[in-house]
Amino acid sequence: MVRMGASSFLVAFAMPLAAAPRVDPQSAVAQIAWPYEAKPRLVADDHVWRCTGPTCTGEALDRPASRMRTCRALARMGGRVISFTVGGVPMVGEELERCNRGLN
């Protein structure tokens, strides 16, 4: 049996967490088909979005789950998302359909 002291245990298990790459929010743009007058400000996935007409700008993490979570939050608050781009990479096809799934 190998005995490990408390400090060895912490180092062994904390190292992978410390080495995880940091993901910073990226600039994002959404085009929303508002069913009513556009809201000037939304909060989606803990990021503030500012809207002028159908165009909303904000930030989102460029990870698949985060992109989808942010897009779905915008769709629930504003209406059908026509386009959604994070860090210059657009959401297209089935991914954009999944974002809007469940909207009336």
Instruction: Give tens-digit pLDDT for 2-56.
Output: 565 555 544 445 545 555 566 788 999 999 998 888 889 999 999 999 999 999 9
- Record the pTM: 0.75
Distance, in Å, from the CA atom of 98 to the CA atom of 63, rounded to the nearest integer, reads: 16
3-state secondary structure 12-54: HHHHHHHHCCCCCEEEEEEEEECCCCCCCEEEECCEEEEEECC
Distance separating alpha carbons of residues 43 and 50, to the nearest angstrom:
9
